[in-house]
């Protein structure tokens, strides 16, 4: 029986019980950088995505997708 692939870092962390600190240590990256990636406030570089993919099994394509959060835009008339 094959286990389905992890769809995101959040999915990996939830299913494995891994904390941000543990994942940052395993991926050899600052916890603050990982936190920004998880919030979607920072883009994931290819090198970081490769390290995270090796540790978590999350596909590189999922890690580098942007934006991770919906961007709200407002328009106002210019007089």
Average pLDDT, the chain: 87
Confidence at residue 5, expressed as pLDDT on a 0 to 100 scale: 83
Rounded distance, CA 27 to CA 42, Å? 16
Q: The domain containing residue 54 runs over which residues?
A: 9-64
Tell me whether residue 4 is in a domain: no
Q: Is the pLDDT of residue 71 over 60?
A: no
- What is the average per-residue pLDDT within 9-15? 95
Tell me whether residue 45 is in a domain: yes
Q: DSSP characters for 31-64?
A: HHHHHHHHHTSSPPPHHHHHHHHHHH---HHHHH
Total structural domains within the chain: 1
Confidence at residue 3, expressed as pLDDT on a 0 to 100 scale: 60
Tell me whether residue 55 is in a domain: yes
Residues 38-70 have pLDDT tens digits of 998 899 999 999 999 999 999 999 999 876 655
């Amino acid at each position: 029986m094959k286990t389905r692939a992890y769809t995101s870092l959040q999915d990996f962390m939830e299913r494995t019980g891994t904390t941000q600190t543990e994942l940052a240590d395993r991926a050899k990256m600052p916890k603050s950088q990982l936190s920004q990636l998880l919030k979607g406030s920072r883009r994931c570089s290819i090198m970081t995505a490769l390290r995270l993919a090796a540790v978590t099994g999350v596909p590189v394509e999922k890690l580098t997708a942007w934006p991770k959060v919906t961007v709200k835009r407002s328009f106002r008339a210019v007089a």
